[in-house]
Structure 1
Amino acid sequence: MDYSPLLLSLKVAAISTTVVFVFGIFFARIFSRKQFFGKSVIESFFMLPLVLPPTVVGFALLVLFGKQGWLGKWLMDWFGVQIIFSWVGAVIASIVVSFPLMYQSAAAAFDSLDERLENAARTLGASEWRVFWTIAFPLAWPGLLAGLVLAFARGLGEFGATLMLAGYIPGKTDTIPMAIYFAVESGQMEKATFWVVIIVALGFSTIMWLNWWSRRNMRRFTNQNRSR
């Protein structure tokens, strides 16, 4: 059995999750504390991949990063980098479809914080960077972790946009969802079943861990309040 789909899926999901974690927190933090004209339009654009069919997202990425796309052509002409039909294309597709989950969770986490705690730190001379790392980030961490886990699970299972942008090249762009689809297409049901079991186990384990962690921290928070 060739395990390259598993390794590639984990690689793609890990890289895309890292990217959306950083940028999701960055934009959520800014938007949670600032009001400006066009904010709702930008946030709607961020959330758009959640409601669009994956093939539509993939088509948009193909137009953007294709050989004749303005960004794809620029990358090829200046750096010799081809996005389509590569594992990098799979990463980009996973980033786009998983970003809304991370952003939504991070925005909800930051919106729920008590601004008085941050303002108190500022009056004591703390910089914005210090306020974020010592107050906002630790208090928002449960929500950020939830977004991180959901983004990882979404990136792991991405199929439609990845197929449009990265295609299916065995050993190069064959993530687990790709391996399942093309195994079924070729009548290799045992192979498809194997990968279905693997990805279901990964997704189930991820969600179970998140639920366990959430319950554990809720009990800890409740016990701390009772002890007071």
Structure 2
Amino acid sequence: MTRRLGSGSLVIATHNAGKLKEISALLEPYGVKCISAGSLGLPEPAETGTTFVENALIKARAAAEASGMAALADDSGLSVDALEGRPGVYTADWAERQWFEGKPGRDWYMAMGKVEGMLQQLGPDTDRNAAFHCVLALAWPDGEHAIYEGKCPGSLTWPPRGKLGFGYDPVFVPTGRGQTFAEIDPEEKHAISHRADAFAKLVAKQFGS
């Protein structure tokens, strides 16, 4: 039987205030108080894994060991079938500007363009199926852990459409929809997203009857 969290405090392995707020809202109904790794002054570990599971576990275990509390981490990204699963764990890295591309930071339009350019090189009949993935890793200080994986299948379109999303959302059309993630109302998107799928599985195991 899966080890259960119960009510109490949980470290969220992030330094991102927006992500902390989102996860806190999801877990608040179950009596869980979320504390960010950033607010505890915990360092961010190097994400050296080659899969979403490995990177999520690296972050969760580091936060649990450093804080002495249960910790939750997520790792997510886009995989494109025709590109053998890329960008995958390097989803955000593809948006990083190189020294010759301007000021430091992330350029998501550039990242979307990289994916589209690679697909176009493969020819007009190339499979454009893709999926967003989210892995949630829950770790305890004694080393025990649990993994919950979520997925949202879809396909890629070009040019980008919509201004409501972020990252690769403007080119991703979820299966069964005609709009990109960046054209769908945010609440509707969150209900069908890869993160929602992963959290539903976590809640069912951790707080279900």
> How does the TM-score come out when normalised to structure 1?
0.28
The structure in which a higher percent of residues are helix is 1
Structure number with the bigger relative contact order (C-alpha 8 A, sep ≥ 6) is: 1
Higher Rg: 1
> How does the TM-score come out when normalised to structure 2?
0.30
The structure in which a higher percent of residues are strand is 2
